[in-house]
Amino acid sequence: MASVKISTRGAKRIRLGHLWVYRSDIRDADEAEPGAIVPVVDDARNFVGQAFYSDRSQIALRFLTVRDEAIDREWWRGRLHACAARRASIMKQTNAYRLVYSEADLLSSLIVDVYDGHYVLQTLSQGADRIQDQLLQLLIDEFQPLSIVELNDARVRQLEGLELRSGALHGDGPPEIEIAQHGVKFIVSPRASQKTGAFLDQRENYLAARRIAHGRALDCFTFNGGFALHIAGSCDNVIGIDISSEAVAAAERNAQLNNAGNVTFQTANVFDALREMETAGERFDTIILDPPAFTKSRATVKSGARGYKEINLRALKLLNTGGVLISCTCSYHISEQMFLDLIADAALDARRRLQIVEKRGQSSDHPVLLGVPETHYLKCVIARVIT
């Protein structure tokens, strides 16, 4: 197999633990086929590892291993079972979890989510796409899924020159699946939904929120009611807000499914709703902010930060003393420190004093791989208003 040669800088990046080499560090890839798994060497022709090669993306190489080993069926089988073994305790607590999380599981650009035995597959690079059939067969043989659908309509596939597509790959997946998280039931529709059906990355933050939430609560950007329904039992009442009427309809159905009579939902733009509530003199004891990523690139960090600051400022003005703010960002480009700084700024402007109770991240089935900072995207700050 023809090797790909990379610069000393690219090789150093891999030797320091990252898994990507950018196109600017490719010295010679003339013989590499798009999507092939290629051996990679440095300028001095020392072996660096083996990687998926893409002839389109700026991420030209996604490393699978730094060993000179056979990447065959047995290798993939071993990696998939290792993912499952790492999630054994999670599988005892819930029937909905991420089985494979891309780089963080050393399976760059491959994502597999499980919803009550039904699998959702994403192959997000030329390399993962090229071996999709092999992966599909392995998942069927090794895990006996009830069904597998692919959800390959993520924009990142376009950067790889891949078509956007979604649909059934194996079995007849039902349009709706009931999942359970910490005693709360949700109906999810992996085929027609944001994410792959549910925001599984927030699962453990729901529990943290439940521990501290109290009184009158507001769940902003509620989607299908994930936070709202988890905190219902700890609060007098909860209002969930989302701009999507479909999400709100699903949230209302989930509230009924859980007999959560103290939870109501509104279809509204959170920015407007918070302003109107302030004008109306409303007050809350718990406010959750879990917006979509306000910045998806370095270029828009400033405007994204302004959006985060605005909602945090408005929420802080609505909280009673002793109240709790649970504030999230799922933007990789907003670091934890930047996020804390902008919440601190918002607190200064709102003339409130905040205690940080917890600094949290993604659920443990979405682990962070040290050396690959891009795997740490979700930050969740839980703070108490003390004056």
Ligand X SMILES: C[S@@+](CC[C@H](N)C(=O)[O-])C[C@H]1O[C@@H](n2cnc3c(N)ncnc32)[C@H](O)[C@@H]1O
Enumerate the active-site residues: 330
Please report how close the Cβ of residue 296 comes to ligand X at its closest, in angstroms: 13
Please report how close the Cβ of residue 376 comes to ligand X at its closest, in angstroms: 16
Q: Is 237 in the site for ligand X (CB under 6 A)?
A: no
Scanning 153-282, the segments in alpha helix (DSSP H) are 156-159, 203-212, 226-231, 245-257, 270-279
Q: Is 244 in the site for ligand X (CB under 6 A)?
A: yes
Please report how close the Cβ of residue 361 comes to ligand X at its closest, in angstroms: 14
Span interacting with ligand X, options 81-89, 174-182, 286-294, 366-374, rule CB under 6 A = 286-294
Which parts of 148-187 interact with ligand X (CB under 6 A)? none
User: Of residues 25, 103, 129, 242, which one binds ligand X by CB under 6 A?
Assistant: 242
Q: Is 270 in the site for ligand X (CB under 6 A)?
A: yes
Q: Is 227 in the site for ligand X (CB under 6 A)?
A: yes
Span interacting with ligand X, options 89-97, 122-130, 154-162, 285-293, rule CB under 6 A = 285-293
Please report how close the Cβ of residue 199 comes to ligand X at its closest, in angstroms: 4
Span interacting with ligand X, options 59-67, 80-88, 156-164, 239-247, rule CB under 6 A = 239-247
Which parts of 201-220 interact with ligand X (CB under 6 A)? 202
Please report how close the Cβ of residue 286 comes to ligand X at its closest, in angstroms: 14
Could you give the 3-state DSSP secondary structure of residue 144? Answer: coil
* AA letter at 17: G
Q: Which residue's CB is nearer to ligand X, number 292 or number 322?
A: 292
Q: Is 54 in the site for ligand X (CB under 6 A)?
A: no
Asked whether the beta carbons of 315 and 289 are under 8 A apart, the reply is yes
Sign for the pseudo-dihedral over CA of 136, 142, 146, 151: negative
Span interacting with ligand X, options 30-38, 74-82, 95-103, 240-248, rule CB under 6 A = 240-248
Residue 125, token pair as written in the block: 């690079």
Tell which residue, 109, 110, 153, 130, has the closest CA to residue 20: 109
Please report how close the Cβ of residue 238 comes to ligand X at its closest, in angstroms: 12
Residue 97, token pair as written in the block: 């979890």
* AA letter at 384: R
- How far, in Å, are 106, 330, 362 from residue 375 at the CA level? 11, 11, 10
Could you give phi then psi for residue 342, rounded to 5 degrees?
Answer: -75, -30
User: Of residues 97, 115, 119, 199, which one binds ligand X by CB under 6 A?
Assistant: 199
Scanning the chain, the segments in alpha helix (DSSP H) are 8-15, 73-86, 88-93, 126-130, 132-143, 156-159, 203-212, 226-231, 245-257, 270-279, 301-318, 336-350
Host H or E run for residue 359: strand 354-360
User: Of residues 154, 243, 249, 372, which one binds ligand X by CB under 6 A?
Assistant: 243
Could you give phi then psi for residue 146, rounded to 5 degrees?
Answer: -70, -35
Q: Which residues bind ligand X (CB under 6 A)?
A: 194, 199, 202, 221-224, 226-227, 241-244, 247, 269-271, 290-292, 330
